[in-house]
Structure 1
Amino acid sequence: LAEVKGSEGKKLDGRTRLLQIIVSESAYLIWLVRNEWKIEKEQDERRRHTANEIEARWKAAITKRLRLD
């Protein structure tokens, strides 16, 4: 996995953890939105998720995860 390092090459634990959270939550949301569109919305182009909806869901997911961590 990726690590965030400071100018002296030392691993920055907090920033590395934040990066891991952002990457994992983003990947999960991509998977979730894709499946919702393919299954629930039957791949109907008129029913695609909007950018605003996806952004709001991403922010909510990150906020929730950061509160738990």
Structure 2
Amino acid sequence: MSNKKNITLWGGVLPPILIILVTGSLSLAILDKENRPAYFDIAKVAVGYAFGSMRLQGNSNDTEKSDNSN
């Protein structure tokens, strides 16, 4: 049960944090040309983490469904 609450909590918190992180990094990349590659790396890591966590969440939901059907 607590695992299900954790997934719901992170599902609701992660998207706004991701949007803030990516838009902030891209905004700083536009303003600061010297450190542009570092800001793009931060944005890439954030997006990669988001896709990875969505994939893991989808896999855990599939596992829960198959466990409940048995």
Q: TM-score range by the shorter chain?
A: 0.3 to 0.5
TM-score, normalised relative to structure 1? 0.47
Give the structure with the larger helix fraction: 2
